[in-house]
Structure 1
């Protein structure tokens, strides 16, 4: 996408009154647990609410989806994602985003089957703790 100031001005359609803040939970992160019939916690999903920068619409970011190995292939991951989607739907969310290791073929197949799409046009970027310290130390801005 060729981004210019003019293109950005035409693309963004975000108004303060568009924010359904009253619908969004006040917590930073949410954790869903699924319990197996045996009584053990079989898996979890940790997610956050966010916004689509270009439209101002709310979305979800799936930070972690994990099912204990002995409980895999029982549908628990899908149940967790479905429960998360229901929570997002209540808040008017229009998207769910997450990352997955490219080498995790099993997870990628699962996500594809449930409707997940790989975004080839985006790169995952990362700054570690040392990088954060370096950036913060070199800050010329006001505190």
Structure 2
């Protein structure tokens, strides 16, 4: 089996959205996906807010076609004032279940590492949903009822990649037009 990891193009958007939807289903939050082909094309390829790698299983025996999309890594660059250096933030990493445990996640991270080094990044960061939580309502599930469905992802990052969990930082978010507008209305000085 031959796998190619390359920068995604506009033509890949439908397949990327399919992978994003699969990731959301895995995280039990499909209803939260608002992305459309138009929005993704504008954000990633026109405005360049993010970049994306796509992994493809190439057709056998040199057959025509670009192959099946089996994984992706969507990322963007950040900046650390403390390090005075850029960083690479991985927004989403996804590998189709049928292709897991074959080294594709490692290969995607390896490609991200090359990109980070080329850009002079001093760190790579991402978040992983804590085991037992669901994206849609993490506070609504009692600790004794939690299903440890995301432990394979956490194990991949900590054991295979030797990543350090950052428990001292709490993720914060203001999301949605209404909340952002309220922030502006409440705190912007005329």
- TM-score, normalization by structure 1: 0.75
What is the Cα deviation at residue 110 of structure 1? 0.4
- Give a deviation string over 1:72-118, Cα, whole Å, max 9, x none: 12211111111011011011111000000111211111001212110
Gaps spanning 5+ residues in structure 2: where?
A: 1-46, 60-66, 132-149
Cα separation, 1, equivalents of 2:175 and 2:78: 22
Match of 1:137 in 2: 185
Deviation at 1:37, TM superposition (A): 3.6
Q: Judging by fraction of residues, say which structure has more helix.
A: 2
The CA deviation string for residues 9-43 of structure 1, in whole angstroms up to 9 with x for no partner, is xxxxxxxxxxxxxxxxx943110011114521110
Q: How does 1:86-101 map to 2 (within 5 A)?
A: 86-101=114-129
Q: How many positions carry a matched residue from both structures?
A: 117
1:110 aligned to 2:138? no
Counterpart in 1 of 2:80? 52
1:70 aligns with 2:98: yes
If asked which structure has higher relative contact order (CA below 8 Å, sep 6+), I would say: 1
Aligned position for 1:21: none
Question: More deviation in 127-136 or 51-60?
Answer: 127-136
The separation in 2 between residues aligned to 1:91 and 1:28, in whole angstroms, is 16
Q: Distance in 2 between matches of 1:64 and 1:32?
A: 10
* Unpaired segments ≥5 residues, structure 1: 1-25
Q: Partner of 1:121: helix, strand, or coil?
A: coil
* Residue in 1 that maps onto 2:175: 128
